[in-house]
Amino acid sequence: MRTGPNGFPGLSILGLVMLGFGFCALASAPAPAAEKDLTQKGEVIVREHCGRCHAVGLTGSSPNEEAPPFRTLSSKYPIDSLAESLAEGIMSGHPDMPVFVFTPHDVDAIIRYMQSIQEEPGAGPDEPEAGGPAEQQG
């Protein structure tokens, strides 16, 4: 009987495989609950950071008349394209609007939320969410 550093190659391969499965499960199977969480997180973020100028909900007009209500953004361009601007520091060209830099996860959340409130049909691949977020103006 010999034992050596490679005595049990099977064990480490199994370990790697299990690790791989773990990552796959994380990456490719977002639970519906998590999706909802993300949308809600997005809502919280935009209410907090954008709500003082933009209408962030399904109704209402923007506190700052110049700022487009978020639910109308998709009529101008695909919501997805916002992701880049958000990640890079959004719209520094608009003097009234502060520059925001968000983490990719936050960006995801914001995009998710934006998509959930768009008025225009065909705003994105998302199917309309049952019920939608409760209407609140803030």
Q: Would you say 57 or 130 has its CB closer to ligand HEC?
A: 57
Helix, strand, coil distribution of the chain in percent, nearest 5: 50, 0, 50
H or E element, residue 23: helix 9-28
In whole angstroms, the minimum distance from the beta carbon of 5 to ligand HEC comes to 54
Residue 58 binds ligand HEC (CB under 6 A)? no
- Count of CB atoms within 10 A of residue 22's CB? 10
Sequence-distant (≥ 6) Cβ neighbours of residue 126 within 8 angstroms: 115, 116
Do 104 and 87 meet the contact criterion of CB atoms below 8 Å apart? yes
Residue 50 binds ligand HEC (CB under 6 A)? yes
Q: Would you say 24 or 119 has its CB closer to ligand HEC?
A: 119
Residue 98 binds ligand HEC (CB under 6 A)? yes
Torsion angle defined by CA atoms of residues 116, 121, 126 and 129, in that order, rounded to the nearest 10 degrees: 50
Number of amino acids touching ligand HEC (CB under 6 A): 20
Query: Interacting stretch for ligand HEC, rule CB under 6 A, among 3-11, 14-22, 88-96, 115-123?
Result: 88-96
Residues from 23 through 42 that contact ligand HEC (CB under 6 A) = none
Residues that bind ligand HEC (CB under 6 A): 46, 49-50, 52-54, 64, 66-68, 73, 76, 82, 90-91, 94, 96-98, 100
